[in-house]
Structure 1
Amino acid sequence: MKLRIKGNSIRLRIAVSEAAKLRAGEPVREIVRFAPQPEAFLAYALIPDASAPEMAVRYTAGQVTVHVPQPVIERWTGGREVGIYATLDIAPQGTLDVILEKDFACLDLSDAENVDTFPNPNAGAAC
């Protein structure tokens, strides 16, 4: 799973194998370590949540979790939808844009970069 943070937005991109885990109700987790100290990390997770009425983001020390209703996960990962897009109210801090997308194969990079990606819908298209 890839993470991108820009301003007050967070984007997670998932691979094919991660989509399968999510459909099965399993979370997808990653961790980035920044230094030798055990507390110097950022963990992030995408969690299918059967009890969640809507998407929610939770933050605790060094960990960001995005909870998504299981039916939404199933519809997204099993269909043609590229992503799930939400703007969450985090008053009084404003809003947080949350973007969940399928990770498509790059058209101009080596095959090594395209392992476990979704087929790019633009593959074979004329420029």
Structure 2
Amino acid sequence: MKIRIKGDSIRFRLTQSEVKSLSENGQIYDSTNFGTIKFSYGVVLKRDVNQLHISFTNNSIILEMPETIGKAWFSNDIVTYDHIMKTTLGNNLYLLLEKDFTCLDNTIEDQSDNYPNPKLS
């Protein structure tokens, strides 16, 4: 799972096995250790949400996804889900959750579990 944060937008990208795990188990997590602080992030399926929702507490970003949509995501062709969330401070926070495709250019990262890029066919 990769996250990209830029301004008031947060993008999560999941590989094939991560989407499958999320669909089957209802959650997927990862973390980065910064010495004395651990930063965690994840995606969880929730029954009581009807669109993407995100929270940041205790050095952890959790993206919530509607359970019915998330359980079917691995078996369908939908690539992205997005939502603009109004924060308690009144700003708009853009949320994007997507399947991770292989890159078109050379990269050193392992892409063996990424979705085939449709632009390569």
Residues paired across the two proteins, number: 121
In our comparison, the structure showing a higher alpha carbon Rg is 1
After superposition, residues 1-127 of structure 1 pair within 5 angstroms as 1-35=1-35, 37=36, 40-109=37-106, 113-124=110-121
Name the CA shift for 1:69/1:108 in 2 (closer, same or farther; >3 Å): same
Question: Which amino acid letter does the alignment assign opposite residue 12 of structure 1?
Answer: F
Contact 1:85–1:100 under 8 Å retained in 2: yes
Deviation at 1:112, TM superposition (A): 6.1
Name the CA shift for 1:66/1:110 in 2 (closer, same or farther; >3 Å): closer
| Deviations, residues 83-120 of structure 1 (Å, cap 9, x unaligned) | 11110010324011111010001233369632100111
- Using the aligned pairs only, state the percent identity: 26
In 1, the alpha carbon distance for the partners of 2:56 and 2:44 equals 13
In 1, the alpha carbon distance for the partners of 2:102 and 2:116 equals 6
Task: List runs of 5+ in structure 2 lacking aligned partners.
Answer: none
Contact 1:106–1:113 under 8 Å retained in 2: no
Higher strand fraction (1 or 2): 2
TM-score normalized by the length of structure 2: 0.88
In 2, the alpha carbon distance for the partners of 1:114 and 1:95 equals 32
Contact 1:25–1:49 under 8 Å retained in 2: no
